[in-house]
Copies of this chain bind each other. A is one copy, B any other.
Amino acid sequence: MIFKIVFLGTSGTVPSLDRNTSSIFVQVGKERMLFDCGEGTQRQIMIAKLGFRNINNIFITHLHTDHFAGIFGLIETMSLNDRKNDLNIYSPNSEIIKTIFDLFGYDGLSYRINVKEVKDGVEIKFENFKVLAFKTEHLVPSVGYAIIENERRGKFNREMAEKVFGIPPGPLYSKIARGESIIWNGKVITPEMILGEPKKGRKVVYTGDTRPTKRTVEVSKDADILIHDASFTEDLRDWAVESGHSTAKEAAIVAKEANVKKLILTHISARYSKDSSFLIEEAKKIFENVEVAKDFMDIEVPLN
């Protein structure tokens, strides 16, 4: 199953020539989602050639404009494209969004918007995965999101099916492989009898803007990818504390404690926009497998 991440905006609060404000496109199977939607995101979607169709869920980490001011234009573009599907917008403090939508008079859209408030522990379930909201620590109510793939079924054991149970190759094999039970020779054969060990689903965690927290470590335990705020280097730690952000070192400590496979730093302050080597060097001292996000960088999350 496809599990793809495209960074649409990786700047700090202020965009730069190289980096737009925060937004990440994630596709899991057929679900196409946005995590944050800063100013200019719709144009980033155009540049990345992702298209607006079937983006049905937008997850906002917090209501600072560099993380959500892009939804207004996107909503209108979707309506001018005659969208019909509902659009779900998840956010802490959803009343603010609802009030703005009322002010903007969004009743005339071609589709319905459902604004849903999330808080720590809320799970939004999809066919093959779920999105878990978890509390983060920023200047305003904020959450991060963990995208957690369901366990994947184990490998089809052909020898077991053919030799042990004597099931002939054909449509029954497909049924079992899809996870359905069959009846063979008057006996119920469950998938567990034929398929190998189920495989752990993949997990990607996006913090949004935050100080490092225990909750992030907990949620990110053994994640495939942790995308963490790393607005500053350690010499600006006071500023990071004051503004509710993290340093590259702090993000690396979270990654190490959570035992993630890969750390991606984002929300890059304009001072490192062109040269992010300071962030990488600082993080690498703690956690080796680290990268700084760039606009339009895309990643296929590898199967375990």
Contacts and interface: CB of A to CB of B under 8 A. Distances in A.
Given A65-B73, A76-B65, A46 B16 contact: yes
Given A14-B77, A14-B80, A43 B65 contact: no
Nearest to A99: B103
Interface residues of A, number: 29
Given A39-B40, A43-B20, A47-B17, A72 B73 contact: no
Nearest to A243: B80
B73 A15 contact: yes
A47 B104 CA distance: 29
A65 B17 contact: no
A288 to B, nearest CB: 33
A100 interface: yes
A272 to B, nearest CB: 15
A58 to B, nearest CB: 15
A42 interface: yes
B80 A73 contact: no
Contact of A96 (B16, B66, B70, B103): B103
A46 B17 contact: yes
Interface string A172-188: 00000000000000000
Interface of A: 13-17, 20-21, 38-40, 42-43, 46-47, 63, 65-66, 69-70, 72-73, 76-77, 80, 96, 99-100, 103-104
21 contacts: A13-B76, A14-B76, A14-B77, A15-B42, A15-B46, A17-B46, A17-B47, A20-B43, A21-B73, A38-B73, A39-B39, A39-B40, A39-B70, A39-B73, A63-B104, A65-B73, A65-B76, A65-B104, A96-B103, A99-B103, A100-B103
